[in-house]
Structure 1
Amino acid sequence: MKLYIQNNFTTELPADPSEINIPRQVEQACFSYVEPKKTFNPSLIHASVEVGNSLGLSEEDIHSDDFLNTFSGNTIYPKTKPYALAYAGHQFGNWAGQLGDGRAINLTEVVHNDKSYTLQLKGAGPTPYSRTADGFAVLRSSIREHLCAEAMHYLGVPTTRSLSLMLSGDQVIRDILYTGNPAYEKGAIVCRVAPSFIRFGNFELFASRKDHTTLQLLADYTIKHHFPNIKSEGVEKYLDFFQTVTQTTLDMIVNWQRVGFVHGVMNTDNMSIHGITIDYGPYGWLEDYNPNWTPNTTDNQHKRYRFGNQPDIALWNLYQLANALYPLINEAKPLETILNAFGSDYQKEYLNMMRNKLGLKTAKANDAILIESLTELLPLVETDMTIFFRNLSNVQKGDTLEVALDKIKEAFYNEKAFNESILDKWHLWLEHYSNRINQELFSDNERKEQMNLVNPKYVLRNYMAQLSIDAADKGDYSLLNELFELLKKPYDEQSENQKWFAKRPDWARDKVGCSMLSCSS
C-alpha cells in the first residue's frame, strides 16, 4: 500500500509544544501531535473502493493488512505524525470556547492526481481536546457517518467522504439518550476524507484569544493551499476568501434543502471552510415535509437547527466567521456587504432549485408564488417529501386534477386526514401547476427526465440506517452493503430496490434512532 504523503499543515503552522495527551487548554497552536490509541482486534466492515481509488489505493490495497493497521490507528504510516486540530465554536448559539478534535485524529495529507486530501480517523482515542470524553466512537454512529457521507456525495451534495468503517474490537460505554442509563456498545472507527478539516471555529479560536499572529498564519495557509484561485493581496485577499466561503456555504445549504437533509448540529465548529457537509451526528432526511423538524433530541425544545431554519443559521454562522476574520481586515463595511447579499442570493438560488424540482425550465414572474403556496400546502397533511417530488414528475400536461392528484397520493401518510378545505387547496395548486407546465415547450418525458435528475428516488432514511445498524450489531453486514450500493445511484429507478421507495413505516415513527437521535456516539 503506497500513499504519496505531504505534511503541509504540520510543517507550515505552529504546533502545540507539549505532546502530553491530557485534556487542557492549548495556546498559540493550530494543532497537537497525538497518536491513535491501539485497538484490541480491528476488523474491516466496509470500505469505499471509489474513495480508495481517489487516494491512489487499489481494491487489493484496501483488503491488505497494511490498510487494516493504518486505518484502525494501530500502525503509524511512514513519514507521518498524526495530529488533532485546535478550534473553538458557538454551540447552539452560545460561545463554547476551545473545543478541538476531541475524538478525531488526522493521520496525514495525501496527494493523488494533483489533488490533496486529509485523512482523519474518527473514534481513534482521546486527544488534548477530548475534555471529559474518551475519544472513541460506537458502531451505530459510525455506520450512520459512513453511509451518509457517501450517500450525500452521490446525491451531488458537497460533503466529506468516508474511506473505511472498522470495528475496533473494543467495547465503549455510552448513554444513548442521556437518560442516566449507560451501556456498553461496540467500538468503531471511520476514516474520513476531505480537502482539509479546517472549520469556522479554527479562526474563531485565535480571534477570541486576540492571537492575531496565529490567526493570520492560518488564514494565509488556508488561502495558499485551498483557495489558489485567490490572487489578491492584503485586505482584499481575506475578503475574497470570505466571499468564496460564503458562496460555497450557500450552495451547500441549497443542496441540503433540495434533498430534504437536516444536519441537526449546525454549530460553528461543524461548518467547513470548504462549503462541504462535515460531522454527521444526529442528522436526518425529512420524512413528512415539516419545516420545523429537527432530528436532534438536544435541540427538541428550541429547534434552532430545524430544516426550515438552516439557511438563517448558515448566515448566523457566517457572521461569526466574519467577526473572527475582522482583525485581518479592520473594516466592517465590506464584510457586511457580503453578508447582506447572502439573503437575496440565497432566495435566487433557492428559487432556481425549486424550479428545477418542479420541472420548470423557464423563469416566470409567478413561480415564487407557486412554490410558496406548495411549501405551505405540503405540511397540512403528512406528505413524504422524497416521494412527492419524485412522483410529481409523472403528472402530464393533459391530466385532469383527479388524475394528477392520484399520481402523487402515494406520498400522503394518511389520505383520511384530507378534509374538503385541504382537498380544494390541492386541486387549486395542481390547477396552477398544470397551467404552468403547459407554458413549457418541452415534452412531458423531457420534463420527467429533468426532474428525476434533481429529485432523488432513494435517500438514507433514518429507519433504513437503523435497520442496518441492528443487523450489524449482530454481525450481519449484508444490509449495510445493500444500502451502500443502493445509495450510489439515488436518481436511478432501480426497480429491484423498489421496496426502499416507501414512506417511513409506522414502527419507526417514534423509535430511537429513527425519529429521535442524540449527539451520543
Structure 2
Amino acid sequence: MTQWQPLQSLSLENDFSRLPGHLYTRLDPTPLPDPRLVSANPKVAEMLGLDPCSLDPELLAGLLGGHQLPQGAQPLAMKYAGHQFGIYNPQLGDGRGLLLGEQPVNGELWDWHLKGAGQTPYSRMGDGRAVLRSSLREYLIGEALTHLGIPSTRALALGVTSQKILRERVEPGATILRISRCHVRFGHFEHLFYTRQHDDLKLLADYCLQRWYPECLEAENPYLAMFRAISKRSAEMVAGWIAYGFLHGVMNTDNMSILGETFDHGPFAFIDRWKEDAVYNHTDQESRYAFEQQPYVIHWNLSALGQALTPLIDVELLKEELNRYSGYYNKAYLQRMRDRLGLALSDPGDKDFIRRWRALLNSNQADFNPLYRALSEAQTEEDGKPVINRLDVAAWQTMLADWLPEYEARLALESRSSADRKQAMLQTNPSYILRTHVTTHLVDQAEEGNFQPIHDWLKILQNPYEEHAGFEEWKRAPDSKRLIMLSCSS
C-alpha cells in the first residue's frame, strides 16, 4: 500500500540558496486578499508523494495567496538574463515568481514555485502578479503536454483572489504552485558569462552536474557531456512539439530549461489546423517563433547557452556538439511521427514520406488531430494486406485520395497486425487536445465563478486518448480559420 505524506506535514529544503547570494534575492510573497482554491491536481500530489486526500482547500488557499509557507521554505527570486527575440537583455529574473524551496521525494528534489507572488527586485516596473487567464492556461497545459509524453513543468494547484489586475483589461488575480525538478534556465549561465563572473559560472555548472546530471561526472569532459545531454533533451522536447502541433510562442533563452522541459508557457497554442508559418503571439511581429521555426530556434538557443559555457568548454568541441543537434532532432521527430502514423519499423524512405504527409496537411490546412484519430480507427486488413477502408469525414477521403495508396504501401512493410497497430495508434493519437477556443471558454466560465469546467478538463487532459461523453464538440477546430492572437500575459 502506498504511504502518502499529508500536505500538512510537508517540509521543504533550500538547495539553491547554497549558491552565491548574488544569484537570487530572498523575500517572502506579498499576500493577496481573499485567496481561494480553484483547483488542486491529485496526480501531481501523487507524483510528490502527497496524500491526494490531504489537499485541504484552506491550506492550499493560504499557500497560493502567500499567507502561509511550507515548513522549511526560504523563498527566493532567481536572477538571470537572456536573449529575448534574439536581443540580449541583462535585466531579467523572477519578476513575479518565487522559488519556495525543494521537496525531497525518493532521492530527488522537486522545486515548489509560487507564480504571481508579488514584486521582486527583477519585476522591471511590473506588478509581480499573474491573472486568472494566464494561470489557468499554464495549469492545464502542463497536464496536456505531460500526458502526450512531452516533458513540461506542472502545477499542484491554481488559486484566485479578489484583487483585480490590469493587463489588456482588468482581470482577476491568480497564482499557481508550479512544480518542476529544475528552475535553472539557459539565462542563468548567460548572466554569469556576460558579467564575467566565470568562477561562479563554474560553480553553477558544478551544481547542475551534481543535482541533475550526475551521470556526466564520469565523462572525460563533464561540462561537455552535460551540454550534450541538454541538447538531446531539448531536441526531443521540440520534436514532440512539432509532432503534436504545439507552438510555444515565446522561446527566449530565459524561457529554456536545462532539463529540456516545456517552461514558462505564455502565448502557447496547439495549432487547430496544420499551418507551418502559424504565429499566435501578437508580439512576434517578425514570426521569429513561428511553428515551423521552433526546431531552429532551439538550436539558436543552444548556441547561446554554448557561448555562455565557453569558459568551461573548448569552442571547437561546442561547435561539434551543436552540429550534432540536427541528428538528435531528426531521430526524435521521425520516431514521433512514425508513432502517430502507426509505423513500428523504420524505413530509409520514411523521411521523405513524412515530409510529403506534412506538406499535404499544410496545403489543406487540415484539422489534423481528428484526422490522426480517424486513421487510427480505420486500420484494418483485406486478404492479409493493410487497408484504410473507412474515414468518417468525406472531405478527408478527397484530400487523401493520392496519399492513402502510398500509406498502405508503407504499412505493408510492417510486421505487426492491423489490430495491434490500431491499438497502439489509439494510445498515441489523442481524442482531445487543449485548443485555444477551449481555454477561452474555460477562462470565460472561471471569470464568472464557474470552476467545474476546469475540473472536467483536468481529467480529460490527463486521459486524452479516451472518449469523454458530452465533450464531443470540443474535439474539432472551430469553423473559423482565423487565428486567435495571444499576448505574453496569456
TM-score between both structures, scaled by the size of structure 1: 0.88
2:310 is the alignment partner of 1:304: no
Q: CA deviation at 1:251?
A: 1.1
User: Where do 5+ consecutive residues of structure 2 fail to align?
Assistant: 1-7
Q: CA deviation at 1:115?
A: 2.3
Residue 288 of structure 2 aligns with an amino acid whose one-letter code is R
2:302 is the alignment partner of 1:318: yes
| Contact 1:111/1:117 (<8 A) preserved | yes
Residue 53 of structure 1 aligns with an amino acid whose one-letter code is E
Q: Which among 266, 278, 283 is matched to residue 251 of structure 2?
A: 266
Change (3 A) 1:351 1:56: closer
1:161-183 C-alpha deviation (Å, 9 max, x unpaired)? 111100122111112xxxxxxx3
| Contact 1:40/1:169 (<8 A) preserved | yes
2:198 is the alignment partner of 1:205: no
Q: Which among 16, 20, 30 is matched to residue 9 of structure 1?
A: 16
Aligned partners of 2:71 and 2:333: how far apart in 1? 47
Residue 5 of structure 1 aligns with an amino acid whose one-letter code is L
Q: What is the DSSP-based 3-state SS (H/G/I as helix, E as strand, rest coil) of the residue aligned with 2:54?
A: helix
Q: Counterparts of 1:319-338 in structure 2 under 5 Å?
A: 319-329=303-313, 331-338=314-321
Residue 25 of structure 2 aligns with an amino acid whose one-letter code is S
| Contact 2:156/2:178 (<8 A) preserved | yes
Change (3 A) 1:95 1:78: same
Change (3 A) 1:78 1:350: closer
Q: What is the DSSP-based 3-state SS (H/G/I as helix, E as strand, rest coil) of the residue aligned with 1:145?
A: helix
User: Where do 5+ consecutive residues of structure 1 fail to align?
Assistant: 16-28, 176-182
| Contact 1:157/1:255 (<8 A) preserved | yes
Change (3 A) 1:104 1:361: same
2:89 is the alignment partner of 1:96: yes
Q: Which among 193, 215, 218 is matched to residue 232 of structure 1?
A: 218
Q: Counterparts of 1:150-229 in structure 2 under 5 Å?
A: 150-175=143-168, 183-229=169-215
2:17 is the alignment partner of 1:31: no
Aligned partners of 1:187 and 1:484: how far apart in 2? 21
Instruction: Find the counterpart in structure 2 of residue 433 from structure 1.
Output: 407
| Contact 1:33/1:83 (<8 A) preserved | yes
Q: What is the DSSP-based 3-state SS (H/G/I as helix, E as strand, rest coil) of the residue aligned with 2:466?
A: coil
Count of residue pairs the alignment pairs up: 480
Aligned partners of 1:126 and 1:410: how far apart in 2? 55
Aligned partners of 2:475 and 2:395: how far apart in 1? 10
Aligned partners of 1:453 and 1:367: how far apart in 2? 21
Aligned partners of 1:30 and 1:40: how far apart in 2? 30
Q: Counterparts of 1:81-480 in structure 2 under 5 Å?
A: 81-175=74-168, 183-232=169-218, 236-299=221-284, 301-329=285-313, 331-396=314-379, 404=388, 407=391, 409=393, 426-480=400-454
| Contact 2:376/2:429 (<8 A) preserved | no
| Contact 2:277/2:291 (<8 A) preserved | yes
1:336-393 C-alpha deviation (Å, 9 max, x unpaired)? 1111011123222222221221111222222222111111111222311211111112
| Aligned-residue identity in percent | 36
Q: What is the DSSP-based 3-state SS (H/G/I as helix, E as strand, rest coil) of the residue aligned with 2:170?
A: strand
Instruction: Find the counterpart in structure 1 of residue 3 from structure 2.
Output: none
| Contact 1:357/1:389 (<8 A) preserved | yes
| Contact 1:200/1:269 (<8 A) preserved | yes
| Contact 2:39/2:157 (<8 A) preserved | yes
Change (3 A) 1:467 1:274: same
Change (3 A) 1:347 1:116: same
TM-score between both structures, scaled by the size of structure 2: 0.93
Q: CA deviation at 1:405?
A: 8.4
Mean Cα displacement is larger for which, 53-62 or 87-96? 53-62
| Contact 2:236/2:333 (<8 A) preserved | no
Residue 202 of structure 1 aligns with an amino acid whose one-letter code is H
| Contact 1:383/1:411 (<8 A) preserved | no
Q: CA deviation at 1:39?
A: 0.9
- Superposition RMSD on alpha carbons, in Å? 2.1
Q: What is the DSSP-based 3-state SS (H/G/I as helix, E as strand, rest coil) of the residue aligned with 1:317?
A: helix
Q: CA deviation at 1:220?
A: 0.9
| Contact 2:82/2:191 (<8 A) preserved | yes
Aligned partners of 1:388 and 1:193: how far apart in 2? 33
Q: CA deviation at 1:493?
A: 3.3
Instruction: Find the counterpart in structure 2 of residue 487 from structure 1.
Output: 461
Aligned partners of 1:264 and 1:197: how far apart in 2? 19
Aligned partners of 2:91 and 2:235: how far apart in 1? 26
Q: CA deviation at 1:7?
A: 1.4
Aligned partners of 2:161 and 2:458: how far apart in 1? 21
| Contact 2:380/2:388 (<8 A) preserved | no
2:490 is the alignment partner of 1:516: no
| Contact 1:388/1:408 (<8 A) preserved | no
Aligned partners of 2:389 and 2:362: how far apart in 1? 16
Aligned partners of 2:26 and 2:458: how far apart in 1? 34
Q: What is the DSSP-based 3-state SS (H/G/I as helix, E as strand, rest coil) of the residue aligned with 1:328?
A: coil
